[in-house]
Amino acid sequence: MTDAQGARIQANCKIIWGDGDYDLDLETDDWVEYACAVKRDYGTSFGPLLTMTGLCHSAEQAWGELDRMLGVWARQMQSGQPMTKA
């Protein structure tokens, strides 16, 4: 993850879930498939999982997918429109 990408992801987390610190984690079980996860960082502990990407074929692809997902979600939040129809 580049510095710019990390800053963008953190900014989008704040738009979606509010001010605070967020733990961004790259996970893999086999070094073949990767996923990124987001949790709130409380300093001495982490909150529950807020979102996670699907499996990706590289670390870069996983960070890119998280960046894309949160960007779409943040724009939706800023639009003021509901995400689903009532």
pLDDT digits (tens, 9 = 90+) for 17-70: 999 999 999 999 999 999 999 999 999 999 999 999 999 999 999 999 999 999
Residue 9, Cβ density class (10 Å: 0-12 exposed, 13-18 middle, ≥19 buried): buried
Cα angle, residue 27 at apex, residues 62 and 49 outer, rounded to 5°: 95
pLDDT surpassing 80 at residue 12:
yes
Contact 13, 3 (CB under 8 A): no
Contact 72, 52 (CB under 8 A): no
